[in-house]
A and B are shown apart, each in its own frame.
Chain A
Amino acid sequence: QSVLTQPPSASGTPGQRATISCSGSSSNIGSNTVNWYQQLPGTAPKLLIYSNNQRPSGVPDRFSGSKSGTSASLAISGLQSEDEADYYCAAWDDSLNGLWVFGGGTKLTVL
């Protein structure tokens, strides 16, 4: 059971917009920034969004992030077949002595 809650799956057709939600609590998303990672099949996760809505260099502006209260969202516009991957949200959790927590992951299918 992951600390952050994501839908297990999402889908869209090429060119459409897809969104993935991530729900947490006051000790994680509510008080810290959110990162998003993309994991292509058989590969390591790759940083996609940091500080809620910032893109590392090289990440297309089709990817955007937002945060409100204890929830966050990842939006992918102009879906492409290569966007088919698993997406994970992550945040620092202030409980106990602190730890990084992840969502359970969302499998995005481009139909």
Chain B
Amino acid sequence: QVQLQESGPGLVKPSQTLSLTCTVSGGSISSGTYYWSWIRQPAGKGLEWIGRIETSGSTNYNPSLKSRVTISVDTSKNQFSLKLSSVTAADTAVYYCARYEWFGEYFDYWGQGTLVTVSS
């Protein structure tokens, strides 16, 4: 059974860079027809797609965040990562990593989510 687990600081200061890692277990990140995505959810609000990466390194980002986002993958560690620069309080949210099955076009496995608070 595939499992995803987010890790990283729960508190980031304004203007700094948020960095999170998603570790994939129960299967190789390189196998199959999958993209690897980040999605966030502010408290009491809806879901916002941040972006995705293929294991080839090809990426797609949400245009509203593109100038501040970098998603990378480390196949040797079975991990992919998110960096979001110049954060503000508006970036405070639960951040989820998720596996996207491109043939079926859906997010089928999600991490449990990690709360990141932007505050001084």
Interface residues of A (CB under 8 A from B): 2, 32-33, 35, 37, 43-47, 50-51, 56, 88, 90, 92, 96-105
In Å, the complex CA distance between A32 and B49 comes to 16
Query: What residue of chain A has the Cβ atom nearest to residue B44's Cβ?
Result: A105
Asked whether A35 and B49 contact (CB < 8 A) given A44-B110, A96-B63, A97-B60, the answer is no
User: Is B47 an interface residue when CB atoms closer than 8 A count as contact?
Assistant: yes
- CB contacts (< 8 Å) of B46 on chain A: these are 2, 88, 102-105
Interface residues on B, range: 20 to 34
- CB contacts (< 8 Å) of A99 on chain B: these are 49, 60-63
Question: Contact between A47 and B106 (Cβ–Cβ < 8 Å)?
Answer: yes
- CB contacts (< 8 Å) of A105 on chain B: these are 45-47
- Give the Cβ gap from A67 to chain B, nearest Cβ, in Å: 13
Question: Contact between A44 and B108 (Cβ–Cβ < 8 Å)?
Answer: no
Query: What residue of chain B has the Cβ atom nearest to residue A93's Cβ?
Result: B49
- CB contacts (< 8 Å) of B110 on chain A: these are 44-46
Question: Contact between A44 and B112 (Cβ–Cβ < 8 Å)?
Answer: yes
Asked whether A51 and B105 contact (CB < 8 A) given A100-B49, A102-B47, the answer is yes
- Give the Cβ gap from B6 to chain A, nearest Cβ, in Å: 10
- Give the Cβ gap from B1 to chain A, nearest Cβ, in Å: 12
In Å, the complex CA distance between A81 and B63 comes to 39
Question: Contact between B107 and A47 (Cβ–Cβ < 8 Å)?
Answer: yes
- Give the Cβ gap from A6 to chain B, nearest Cβ, in Å: 9
Asked whether A44 and B63 contact (CB < 8 A) given A50-B105, A102-B49, the answer is no
User: Is B74 an interface residue when CB atoms closer than 8 A count as contact?
Assistant: no
Query: What residue of chain B has the Cβ atom nearest to residue A46's Cβ?
Result: B110
Query: What residue of chain B has the Cβ atom nearest to residue A32's Cβ?
Result: B105
- CB contacts (< 8 Å) of B113 on chain A: these are 44
- CB contacts (< 8 Å) of A90 on chain B: these are 47, 107
Question: Contact between B111 and A44 (Cβ–Cβ < 8 Å)?
Answer: yes
Question: Contact between B63 and A102 (Cβ–Cβ < 8 Å)?
Answer: no
In-complex Cβ contact of B48 among A43, A45, A92, A102 (8 A): A102
- Give the Cβ gap from A101 to chain B, nearest Cβ, in Å: 7
